[in-house]
Amino acid sequence: MSFELSLNTGTTPNLNLEEAVRHTAEAGLSHIGLWRHLLVDGAEAAAKVVSAAGLSVSSLCRGGFLTAAEPAGQAAALQENRQAIREAAALGTRELIMVVGGLPAAAHVLGGEGERNDRDVAGARARVADRLAELVPFAAEHDVRLVLEPLHPMYAADRAVLSTLEQALDMAAGHPAATVGVVVDTFHVWWDPRLAELIARAGTEGRLASYQVCDFNLPIAADALKSRGMMGDGYVDFASISRWVAEAGYTGPVEVEIFNEQINAQDAALTLATMKQRYNDLVLPSLRGVGSLV
């Protein structure tokens, strides 16, 4: 089977691991994308909970936050990411989603005007590339792929200095495709005028590791992280993007990851029922339309 729908647990933040797994299985899904904070009893125990319910893990969220400027922060980030790599391996997923981090939030540069924000986005990007290179051998040893996630440019300052699929592919380019990939998250990249060609490039280069769907809602939420919406409620053209993803050869699970006050608060069974219907109506036909041809 291809294009299996997967619940990313960011969509149901009030559920613990057992609850998220149970809801996912009861909804008839085969995959779940896990956030690390749910692994309270360790990855091995979580792997048993998941497999006992007949599910597979589509991805682990997340590694990253690699922009620290000081040696101590860099060492801590490497240690944290190595742990995330071990957990992904234990969970039986190859895909570790990487949110690379923004300008160092806590870093205050002492200049002529006293403390001010760090604004060296080029420097932060260079440090991400350096840390990534240091993690690649460890990830390869564990047969885990570091999946670079370009985030919407509205998060460039505080969350990810990686803003476009092109930039992610360029950063991945020096490393084996089996070890460094990219994820297409519709919320983050829908606006990119070069999206079609970049998704095709990701496919050609063998780096299209994950497809995450949710909508881009307006107005932007008071907490900008929670502007994501259920497919069909916002402005994303799921038919076009899904077609490009399938044309690029992607056949893996499709995760629904929605940070949204209202959806996150509502009954998880309702969320799962709605996302199944919207996925079947708005996303799957375009994936299958291509998938049946390739």
In the complex, least distance from residue 277 CB atom to a second copy, rounded to whole angstroms = 11
Q: Which of 72, 106, 110, 222 touches a second copy (CB under 8 A)?
A: 222
Tokens of 28: 């008839």
In the complex, least distance from residue 206 CB atom to a second copy, rounded to whole angstroms = 22
Tokens of 259: 């940070």
Q: Of all helices (H) and strands (E), which one includes residue 185?
A: strand 180-185
Closest CA to 212 of 180, 184, 251: 184
Closest CA to 132 of 87, 205, 182: 182
- Binding string, 106-145, against a second copy, x = CB under 8 A? -------x--xx-xxxx--x--------------------
Nearer to a second copy, 95 or 149 (CB): 149
Q: Which of 8, 164, 186, 242 touches a second copy (CB under 8 A)?
A: 164
Q: Which of 42, 92, 137, 153 touches a second copy (CB under 8 A)?
A: 153
Instruction: Please give the sequence-ordered ranges of beta strands (E in DSSP) within 9-156, or none if there are none.
Output: 31-35, 56-64, 95-99, 108-111, 114-117, 145-148
Cα 105 to its chain centre, rounded Å, is 21
Nearer to a second copy, 18 or 223 (CB): 223
Look at residue 187 and give its three-state secondary structure. helix
Nearer to a second copy, 176 or 234 (CB): 234
Is residue 242 within the footprint of a second copy (CB under 8 A)?
A: no
In the complex, least distance from residue 117 CB atom to a second copy, rounded to whole angstroms = 6
- Contact (Cβ atoms closer than 8 angstroms) between residue 272 and residue 27: yes
Where do we find the tokens 């996630």? 149
> By CB under 8 A, what part of segment 255-284 binds a second copy?
281
Binding segment for a second copy among 92-100, 204-212, 227-235, 247-255 (CB under 8 A)?
Answer: 227-235
Total count of residues recorded for the chain? 294
Closest CA to 181 of 211, 146, 156: 146
In the complex, least distance from residue 45 CB atom to a second copy, rounded to whole angstroms = 37
- Binding string, 186-215, against a second copy, x = CB under 8 A? ----xxxxx---------------------
Look at residue 160 and give its three-state secondary structure. strand
Binding segment for a second copy among 68-76, 131-139, 161-169, 258-266 (CB under 8 A)?
Answer: 161-169
- Contact (Cβ atoms closer than 8 angstroms) between residue 252 and residue 275: no
Q: Of all helices (H) and strands (E), which one includes residue 52?
A: helix 43-52
Residues that bind a second copy (CB under 8 A): 103, 113, 116-117, 119-122, 125, 152-154, 156-158, 163-164, 166-167, 190-194, 216, 218-220, 222-224, 232, 234-237, 240, 281
